Structures are given as structure tokens and as C-alpha cells.
Chain A
Amino acid sequence: MAELTAREARPAVGNEEPWRPAGRRRPGTLRARASWTGRGRLVAGLVGLVVLVLGAVLIPWLGGLDQGAVDYTAVRQPPSLAHPFGTDAVGRDLFLRSFAGLGVSLTVAASCAVISTVIGTLYGALSGLLGGWPDRILMRAVDGVNAVPHLLLGIVIVALYHGSVLAVIASIGLTHWTTVARVVRSEVLSLRSRPFVDAAISGGASRRRVLGRHLLPAVVPPAVLSSVLILPHAVWHETALSFLGLGLPPHLASLGNILAEGRQAVLLGSWWIVVFPSALLAATTLAVAGIAAWWRDRTRPRRRSELAL
């Protein structure tokens, strides 16, 4: 190691982290990466998410053109100035359709996230508060739900309750609350032994008051965060269901419906029908993943070597 950066060469003083051998790390790369894992990822994720949501809201609105407008003179056209994302098999503009589809997907996903958060928070708080054997039984039930692959359970629910929007939302909302429940339960377990809860109890507060007034407000931040993290899962799930023909009805074109229609078009060489909607899908997931990574690093600091992703 010829050149050590100032950071690595500095000896350990006081409370600072102990000096570690630099291993095969290239000098300099660590610091650049570290700042990227910090604030940079959060900003990039937030900006990306805001841009995508604004696009999903504004583009179909400003586009003026009906995103379902069929034009048989412009069937399966490659991307051009008039149609930035090209057109699909019946000549509908993919730019408008993709962003409208993203809007539909995000709306469904957000509803699912809200449902999962509410169910998960109440369930987790109840389980953590009761403790003992009720807690153990409730958590075994969570294991049971988790043992069935979520997509499979979703397929079962959608198949039995027929492909309405509500069935899709229910099928995702009823399968994804388990993560929230786990997070909230462990949070409640740790909060229960804090002095302010003891103070409330010794002040004569009832169990319900302790839960509603002291515990639930404190678990809101982690619950909200885990609901944000559900968002990409929910988008993913909805898209997969729609792609299989079990999701949203065709007139509510989500990204999954558009991709399902692209299945035939791809065989004719129309790559843009698949590429652009899936790029929007990946961008949404990555934006949320950026926020998630920032949060994870903040709440669970690990060895820096592991953080430098």
C-alpha cells in the first residue's frame, strides 16, 4: 500500500473506530463510495421517485391524447419524435400508456402498502404487547403466511375472488403485512421496557391507553418506512399478476398488462414494447431501494467494508 489516504493513515484516537488493515482496498475508493451510501442514495432515490410519480400524474394529463386511442396507420412503430417510446400492436402511443400504466401500478401498490401497514401495525403491536404464549401463537401464524410463496397465495386469492381491482389489492395487501408485523412487534417489545412506559403504567394508565397513547405513536416511523419498502414489492406483485392474466382488467392498463401484450409483439421484433415499460418498473424499484439502503445504513451501522456497496 503505497499511498494511504489521510483517513486510513490516521491513528485511532479516543472513541474513533480502531484502525483496520486496508486489505486490497484501493486508496480513495472507500470515501467516495461511503458518501454515496450516505445522503447521496437518499437524494437520488427521492428525486427519482418524485420524478416518476410526477410523470405518472402529469404526462397522461398533459398528453391530451387518450392513452387508449387506436391508430391502425401507426402499428408497432419504433421510437420516434412523435412517439418517444414507439407504438404498440394496435398503434397506441407507448409513452402515454407506459406512464399511465405506472400511475395505475403505483396507485394499486400504494393502496396495498396502506392496507399492509395498518394490518401489520395492529397485529405486531398486539402481539408484542400481549407477550407470552399469545405472542408465540400469533408469530407462528405469521410463519404460516410466510411459508406460502406470496405470489402463489396472491394467485389463489385473485382466482377465487375474480380479477377485480379490489381482489388484486386484497391479494397483495393480505400477503405483505407480515414484514410490517415483525418490525412493529420487535419495536414494541423494545419500547415496552423503556422508562416512559413504566411511568405511564405506574401513573395508572390502562393497557389501551398505553398502547394508543404511548406505543403506537412511537412505532409509526418504522411502520411507515416498512410500508414504503413494501411499495416496490407491491408494484412487482401487481405487475406479475397482471402479466399472468390474473390481475387488473385490460381497460385499466398497468405496466403488467402492457408487458403481457408485449409478449406477442416481441416475437415480431418490437423490442420497445417490452424495454420501456420494464425500464420504468426497474427505475421505480431502484429509487425505493436507494431510500431503503440509506435507512438501513442509518439504523443498523455495520462494518464500513460491508456498507461500501
Chain B
Amino acid sequence: MTTALEAPSRRRDREIGILVAWRLGVAVPVVAVVATGVFLLAAWSPFDPIYQYFGVGVFSAGDAAVENARQQLGLNDSVWTQLGRWAGGLLSGDLGQSLSFRQPVGTVIAQRLPWTLLLVTVGLAVSVVLSLVAGVVAAWRQGGWVDRAVTAVGHTLEGLPPFVLALGAIAVFAVAWPVLPVAGLTDAGAAPTVDQVARHVVLPAVVLGISQMPWLVLHVRSSLLGALDEDHVTGARARGLPERTVVLRHALPTALLPFVTVLGNRLPEVVTGAVLVETVFSWPGIAAAVVTAALSVDFPLLAALTLLTTAAVLLGALLADVAVLVLDPRVTADG
């Protein structure tokens, strides 16, 4: 075998390359299946796009005009022809026209995506930092009051949807203690300067972070508890290392490896949380646009956002797996 003679790092790189190529290869059919599924759902639904085209005018328009418009929009073609046309448009970069925003879908996404990325990044950072600190403290003193408080709060938060937390935050910050703005990207009419956005992102991001925290914190805790029982930790204790070194340098790194995977696989829930949080806080991101698009049955935008999210979820899982491969030399790459 030639691979056995290569330097381990080279072999590693090749393994990672194969993993990435394989997963991207799998992702293409998955995205294609999702696109077809969403299109067929729409095609077989009772919703008729002609009403969207005419709006209220459909009731005053003559039969001939309606039929003419149908012909022009290609609605009389078979479902598969329409699907082919739509998919062809997607591949050539033409995402269609968003009816609820009266803009091309590409423009809507380009304008709103950065704000969602900002919100999700800050939210995830809050979530990771809080859950690492709380999880480590809880596992360190298992059975102590911190541990009990963290597990109780964690389990309670699991049962609360993000929008309840958001409403709670609004109740506190809009009424009782108005130090932070509770809605929008900027104050009314103000330009989106760094200062303005930084103040407005705090509440949505913290709510999003806390809503994602319970799974992460409980995972860090149980994973660190498992690591504390491992032989190399007992060995470190036996050598008389200080408790801090034992927990933070010997137990925590092994405990954190699965955490990366958990984080990558939680992306669907993060998206769900973002939909709810953005809506409650009137944050002008793409997740809030999903709701706007759904309320006015804006199929081109809805479909584009669904595909975008699907791709993001697959990418998140892939990144997590690559990160584990890079961090942990013991893991072997397989599909």
C-alpha cells in the first residue's frame, strides 16, 4: 500500500479531502430531492399562482385575460416542464421574482443574509461561552447547588420555545428596565451605524443563544462527567496534578470533541430559533423573510430560502465532521 508510506499528515489531508468530496457528492442529490419535493408540494397544493399574479384584480379580469396570463406564465404546461424551467433558472442564478418584497429574490437574500449571519454568529458565541462555563462548573462540582441549578434551568429551558424567552425579554426590557432596544435593527429612522446595530443585536442574540443553550450545556456536563471517569484523568490525579490542571487540561479537551459534532448538528434548530427570534424582535434577516413569504404565499422566495437553509445545514454538519477529524487524530474518516 502506498498510503502507508506517506507521512501521517499527508494521509490525513487526503482522508479529509475524500470525506469532503464524498459529502459534497451526497449533498447534491439531497438538495435536488428537496428542491423537487418543495416544487411538487407547491404544484399539487390548492394554491393557484394566478391569484398572486393578478391580486384582487383576478375578480374583475375577464376569462380571456386570465387564460392569456396563464399561457404567458407557462402555467398550462405539465408539472415536469415547469419544474425543469424553475430548476434551470435556479442553476443559471435566476431565482425568480419575490412577490411579497417586490424585488428579485437574489436581492432580498443579499440584503438580508448579512444581518441573519450577524445575529446567528453572536447568538452561537453567547451560547457556546455560556454553556462551556456553566457545563464545566456543573460537572466539576457534581451534585452541588450550581450543578442542580444548571440542570434544572437547562431542563426547563428545553421545554420553552424561543419565542417565549423573547417575549419575556421584551416584557423586562420594554417595560420594567428599558436600557436596551427591543425591536428592529436601528432606532426609528437612524442610519445602521456600528453603534446602533451593536445595541440592537444584544437582546435577539442573547435570547437566541440562551434558547440553544440547554442542549449544549447538558451535553458539556455529561460529557465532562464521562471524561472525569477515564483512566488518563485518574492517572493525572495520581501524579498529583492540581485539580484545575486535571479538569481543564486533561478531562476537558477529550470531553469537547463530541461537542463540536453536537454544535454542527444543531444548525437546523438554530435556524428554527432564528425564525422565531427575528420575527419577535423585527430583525430584518432572512429568517423573518421566511414568515413574510409564507404569509403571502411567495413561492419563489420561500423555495429559495428553503434550499439555502438545506445547503447551510449540510455544510454545518460537514464542517463539524472535518473539525473533529482535524482535532482528534484517533478518529478515522468514513463517509
Contacts and interface: CB of A to CB of B under 8 A. Distances in A.
Contacts of A23: 142, 228-229
A212 B26 CA distance: 34
B160 A282 contact: yes
B295 interface: yes
B33 A141 contact: yes
A31 to B, nearest CB: 11
B188 to A, nearest CB: 15
A244 B279 contact: yes
Contacts of A286: 155-156, 158-159
Contacts of B225: 305-306, 308
A140 interface: yes
Interface residues of A, number: 59
A151 B276 CA distance: 10
A152 B306 contact: yes
B170 to A, nearest CB: 6
Contacts of B333: none
Interface string A204-235: 00000000000000000000000000001000
A140 B30 contact: yes
B276 A240 contact: yes
A251 interface: no
A243 B170 contact: no
A147 B313 contact: yes
B271 interface: yes
A300 interface: no
B159 A282 contact: yes
A191 B140 CA distance: 41
A148 B310 contact: yes
Interface residues of B, number: 65
Nearest to A302: B226
B268 A150 contact: yes
A282 B280 CA distance: 19
Contacts of A282: 156, 159-160
B57 interface: no
A285 interface: yes
B73 interface: no
Nearest to B265: A146
A141 B33 CA distance: 8
Interface string B23-54: 00010011001100110011001110000000
Interface stretch (A73-81, A110-118, A264-272): A264-272
B302 A156 contact: yes
A151 B272 contact: yes
A303 B143 CA distance: 16
Contact of A144 (B30, B42, B151, B155): B30
A300 to B, nearest CB: 13
Contacts of A305: 142, 225-226, 228-229
B280 to A, nearest CB: 7
B302 A29 contact: no
Interface in A6-27: 20-21, 23-26
A141 B167 CA distance: 37
B94 to A, nearest CB: 21
B295 A245 contact: yes
A160 B226 contact: no
Given A289-B159, A309-B151, A259 B164 contact: yes
A160 B276 contact: no
Contacts of B294: 155-156, 158-159, 244, 246
15 contacts: A23-B228, A26-B142, A29-B143, A140-B26, A140-B29, A148-B306, A149-B313, A151-B271, A159-B302, A162-B46, A246-B294, A271-B171, A278-B167, A281-B161, A284-B159
Interface of A: 20-21, 23-26, 29-30, 33, 140-141, 143-144, 146-153, 155-162, 232, 236, 239-240, 243-246, 259, 262-263, 266-269, 271, 274, 278, 281-286, 289, 303, 305-306, 308-309
Which 3 A/B pairs are nearest by Cβ-Cβ distance?
A285-B159, A29-B143, A159-B294
Interface of B: 26, 29-30, 33-34, 37-38, 41-42, 45-47, 140-144, 151, 155-156, 158-161, 163-164, 167-168, 170-171, 174-176, 218, 222, 225-226, 228-229, 234, 237, 243, 268-269, 271-272, 275-276, 279-280, 290-291, 293-295, 297, 299, 302-303, 305-306, 309-310, 313-314
Given A26-B144, A148-B268, A150-B272, 11 more contacts: A20-B229, A147-B30, A148-B309, A149-B309, A156-B303, A246-B291, A266-B171, A267-B175, A269-B171, A274-B167, A306-B226
